[in-house]
Structure 1
Amino acid sequence: MSLFDALVDASRKYGAKKPILEDQERNPLTYTDLIRAAFALGRKIAGFTAKGERVGIMLPASSAAVVTFFALHAFGRTPTMLNFTSGIRNLKAACELAGVKRVLTSHRFVEQGKLHDLIDALDTLTTVTYLEDVRETVGLPDKLIAAAAAAFPKQFRAGSSPSDPGVILFTSGSFGAPRGVVLTQANLIANVRQVAQHITLDLDWVMFNPLPTFHCFGLTGGALLPILSGLKSFQYPSPLHVKQIPALVKDTGASVLFATDTFINQYVRAAEPGELSGLKFVVCGAEKVREETHNLIAEKFGPIPLLEGYGATEAAPVIAVNTPGDNRRGTVGGLLPGVEVRLEPVEGIPGGGRLFVRGPNIMAGYLTPGGGIEPPVDGWHDTGDVVSLSDDDWIKILGRVKRFAKIGGELVSLTAAEDLAVAVWPDGRHAVVALPDPKKGERLILVTDRRDADAAALIAHAQAIGAPEIAVPRKIIKVQEIPVLGTGKTDYVALQRIVDAEMRRAA
């Protein structure tokens, strides 16, 4: 079915008057409220856009973002989620690649986020429309039509097919330029259903989502999963509000928190006693969960499972995730129902292989210049990750193909080198990059925010655990903070620039 029909069916199944969406404004919306608001806003947007048009959404995680997403679907437009943390160049490139001519945003958001430079840049390519201005034009006739549409939604909504685009998202750009990903409506619904089959959901739970909806984890996990499954979703506009979020988690009665390792680590440290203890579990994705984070939450708030998952924008995004009843540290969980995998050998890396995935949640394809779509070959998506797979389909990440260095003829995992630093300085943040070396092929550089980091401690730890010495970075660059993307992932593109600049200074 279409996404909008899935929303309507959820309303009928779980109760039209059930509150299912709230944000920091503390004005909960029921299914009826959400559907009515989507028709009212969507009808106005339809007046200045064309059916099938790719319309940009530049909003934080909020009720407004969710309403706008469904408003576009109600009238047959394609939401194109814009990453406002990616910088002017990437943002303009995303609009050009997707053919976005109209961007929907908010005066309040632009003011609070100090995003005027982004707006100025977008104004040269697109028409920027503010939702506050659109809402001011909604009159009594519009409200009456929206009320009628909410009563008979399938008679008023635009017809669409499950194979039609559900959203256009952009990859994180951790290692290079972001790519445009087209996910169908069926992809998104399938991933919601897959997760709901893999983890038993309680209709009384409240899911707290501080992750941006331009990130697939925030969109599917934080918004679509709860809303289409009958659970209330609380949207919070920024994961960076470390002191405010724990208190809100308690105040909203949240049962499930979505986060990345970086953010949950910070929330646990900032939280007052009892603020997180009401959580049933935390779902972490986008980056590896450190052992220290597991231990920290257990020490401060008791046995709250930290469920590490694994996904990709191209997979809508969840591929695997641990469960409350089977939470295996060091893995990213079991494969979701319906996901096929194959592993291709990687020279020099025994015990695993390059992961390819196929299933109902795998994208329609990447955007190509000119507006076309390049589908995955035979439906298989190359994740670029090297993994091992247990007999019961539990996945352990060994590293990314591009995150291995060849030193003295041997492949060395940069992720494993980072793990050495994490073991020695667990409360710091570390990243390792490889640079060309005329003698050994490549060499490892550790970038860390620990001011007391030194190579001797790394070497001693490597010797103590029997790790090969070639996996130990000898050069250490100390920084105030490791650059991260808006999702919390390490920004390896920015990191490489820091290393290059430091090496030029040292030369």
Structure 2
Amino acid sequence: MEMAFGTPSPATAEIPLDPPVWNRTLFEMLLDARRRFGGKRPVIEDIQRKPLTYDRVTIGAMVLGRVFAARTAPGEHVGVMLPNVAAVAPVFFGLQAYARVPAMLNFTAGPRNLVAAIANGHIRLVITARRFIAEAKLEDLVAEIEKAATVLYLEDVAKAVGTAGKLRGVADAWRARAIHRRFGAGPDDTALILFTSGSEGAPKGVALSHANLLSNIHQFVRLLSLKPEDSMFNPLPVFHSFGMTVGLVAPFMIGMRVFFYPSPLHYKQIPPLIEESGATILIGTDTFANGWGRMAEPRHFKKLELVVLGAEKIKPATREMWRERFGIELLEGYGVTETAPVLAANTPQHNRIGTVGRLLPGMSYRLEEVAGLADAGRLWVRGPNVMLGYLHGDGRAEPLPGGWHDTGDIVSVDEDGYITIRGRAKRFAKLGGEMISLAAVEAIVAQTWPDNAHAVVAVPDDRKGEQLVLVTDLVAAEREALLAAARQKGVPELMVPRRIVTVAALPMLATGKTDYPAIEAIARA
């Protein structure tokens, strides 16, 4: 394999891209979509059932953007801490209109991680809402934030703006493009700051450009043949890259309607709302989809045409449930925050179960050798959607050498270009001289006890260097049962955890990922 240039995705030759699509800013995209689809077209709605049209989002963006601009400088990173509500759209595009950079803050990350993100992002101002803080009981979190930044509440902004400010916003909406151009924002400038999930350690600030986001949307729109007539149900938070790019920005670019729901954990409430919203597309994770599926009636998902899951592997039990109960084939995708985020995806036409699909068109990859693994390697990727870089001490992005990003994932790629994730590089243990994938061990456990949640970590061992520990919510879990299942499958005893720890529930991040630092702390206790 050519390491300097990498191997292009097989989808590249099949699905040509149109680079001018991403040669603009996010706010210019909004205005272009408004002109194309009409200002009166509803585009975003939430549980309040008051849809916002392109016109209302643009006017709201101009009103709010002027207020934000008075408190900040062009190019400044501005914290946004809001749930999945329609008001996120005018806040987000208001910052874009005046060339400020939204930095989406994960309010579930805890005070330490949140304050660290504010420092890492050089954030002086955080935008939130009093109602959200009260309903989510985040007063203590806000108190910690106020030690590091100024907090601006949208309710206070609304009172201060008044009728005159709103009328000015209506007028500004007609000359929004000219106002935006005064600030000189370009496609390759930073458009968004997201923070990695922290599933393996401290979150890192990721700087994404306008071109990164728009090219990624163009890539998966072409791959999945999405169209304006579609409608999406998005329960994923906008501080998560999947919820932001796919769930917020993409619908505006495509012209499709999106229904925002504040929490993916409301397993009972979500299925009826999917039916009522008329959604044809649903995005989520395996954990969430399993919960929704267990609570749903077949009629709730009758209109769904496309269900795409990411962030974690789809478990066989989840796949079978959706197939048998709802007649829906779940599609597994793969993304990382650093690629804005979609990297690969299965499609209705190209779906190979057990893989995460093929690399998106316009991307290239290379595999770095990993000692002890002959048929897999560490995945590096390059393409128009790959980030500008990680934020460093001065708040600026450190450019990637040659544009290559190290995903940290160990993968294999078959002859047709389908990618199978073998595990995170950090999630391999060396036992008896062999490299053991912790994800593979988890898969064995899941096959043995499919109705429960499990996680496997490696902890230090005085004799062998490392030992595997299973953390599970199955109270009756016994190592002998695992050993028997492993022998039946021909799995070596080396891959059976030496110790089992039972918990009431596994620690999870708001994104649906397993909180491995918390799991490891449990295993070490």
TM bracket, shorter-chain basis = over 0.9
Q: Partner amino acid for 2:501?
A: I
**1:286 pairs with 279, 299, 311, which one?**
311
Matches within 5 A, 1:402-441: 402-441=426-465
Q: Does 1:331 align with 2:355?
A: yes
Alpha-carbon contact 1:149-1:155 (below 8 Å) kept: no
* SS of equivalent to 1:202: coil
Matches within 5 A, 1:333-482: 333-482=357-506
Q: CA deviation at 1:28?
A: 0.8
* SS of equivalent to 2:395: coil
Q: Does 1:205 align with 2:210?
A: no
In 2: Cα distance, 1:19 partner to 1:220 partner? 19
**Which deviations, in whole Å up to 9, do the C-alpha atoms of 1:107-129 show, x marking residues without a partner?**
11101111011100001111111
**Which deviations, in whole Å up to 9, do the C-alpha atoms of 1:43-102 show, x marking residues without a partner?**
122222222211100001221112211010111111000010111000000001111111
In 2: Cα distance, 1:66 partner to 1:283 partner? 23
In 2: Cα distance, 1:390 partner to 1:4 partner? 40
In 1: Cα distance, 2:175 partner to 2:274 partner? 35
In 1: Cα distance, 2:305 partner to 2:184 partner? 39
Q: Does 1:320 align with 2:344?
A: yes
| Residue equivalent to 2:142 | 119
In 2: Cα distance, 1:384 partner to 1:488 partner? 19
In 2: Cα distance, 1:175 partner to 1:162 partner? 31
| Residue equivalent to 1:156 | 179
Q: Does 1:11 align with 2:11?
A: no
Q: CA deviation at 1:393?
A: 1.8
TM-score normalised to structure 1 length? 0.97
| Residue equivalent to 2:11 | none
Q: CA deviation at 1:138?
A: 2.1
Q: Partner amino acid for 1:294?
A: R
* SS of equivalent to 2:460: strand
In 2: Cα distance, 1:377 partner to 1:450 partner? 46
Q: Partner amino acid for 1:15?
A: G
Higher relative contact order at CA 8 Å, sep ≥6: structure 1 or structure 2? Answer: 2
* SS of equivalent to 1:5: helix
| Residue equivalent to 1:39 | 62
**Which deviations, in whole Å up to 9, do the C-alpha atoms of 1:308-362 show, x marking residues without a partner?**
1101101000000111222221111111111110011111112111000001001
**Which deviations, in whole Å up to 9, do the C-alpha atoms of 1:147-195 show, x marking residues without a partner?**
2222232122243111111100100111111101000111111111111
Alpha-carbon contact 1:207-1:254 (below 8 Å) kept: yes
Alpha-carbon contact 2:61-2:94 (below 8 Å) kept: yes
| Residue equivalent to 2:91 | 68
Alpha-carbon contact 1:20-1:29 (below 8 Å) kept: yes
In 1: Cα distance, 2:463 partner to 2:316 partner? 35
| Residue equivalent to 2:325 | 300
| Residue equivalent to 2:240 | 215
Give structure 2 stretches of 5+ with no counterpart: 1-23
In 2: Cα distance, 1:278 partner to 1:286 partner? 24
RMSD: 1.1
Alpha-carbon contact 1:408-1:441 (below 8 Å) kept: no
* SS of equivalent to 1:63: coil
| Residue equivalent to 1:504 | none
| Residue equivalent to 2:273 | 248
Q: CA deviation at 1:34?
A: 1.0
| Residue equivalent to 1:183 | 208
| Residue equivalent to 1:136 | 159
In 2: Cα distance, 1:495 partner to 1:275 partner? 34
**2:77 pairs with 46, 49, 54, which one?**
54
* SS of equivalent to 1:194: helix
Q: Does 1:29 align with 2:29?
A: no
Q: Partner amino acid for 1:459?
A: L
In 2: Cα distance, 1:379 partner to 1:126 partner? 33
In 2: Cα distance, 1:159 partner to 1:270 partner? 50
In 2: Cα distance, 1:259 partner to 1:29 partner? 23
**2:131 pairs with 90, 101, 108, which one?**
108
Q: Does 1:262 align with 2:315?
A: no
Q: Partner amino acid for 1:132?
A: E
Q: Partner amino acid for 1:214?
A: F
* SS of equivalent to 1:110: helix
Q: Partner amino acid for 1:340?
A: S
In 2: Cα distance, 1:345 partner to 1:219 partner? 33
* SS of equivalent to 1:439: coil
Alpha-carbon contact 1:284-1:306 (below 8 Å) kept: yes
* SS of equivalent to 1:288: coil
Give structure 1 stretches of 5+ with no counterpart: 502-507
Q: Partner amino acid for 1:197?
A: R
Q: Partner amino acid for 1:156?
A: I
**2:108 pairs with 85, 96, 99, which one?**
85
TM-score normalised to structure 2 length? 0.94
* SS of equivalent to 1:70: helix
In 1: Cα distance, 2:275 partner to 2:351 partner? 24
* SS of equivalent to 1:137: helix
* SS of equivalent to 2:384: coil
Q: CA deviation at 1:241?
A: 1.3
Worse-superposed segment, 274-283 or 357-366: 274-283
Alpha-carbon contact 1:212-1:219 (below 8 Å) kept: yes
Q: CA deviation at 1:218?
A: 0.4
In 2: Cα distance, 1:260 partner to 1:326 partner? 20
* SS of equivalent to 1:352: strand
In 2: Cα distance, 1:128 partner to 1:338 partner? 40
Structure 1: 4+ residue segments shifted above 3 A: none
**Which deviations, in whole Å up to 9, do the C-alpha atoms of 1:232-283 show, x marking residues without a partner?**
1111111111111111100000111111110010001011341122211211
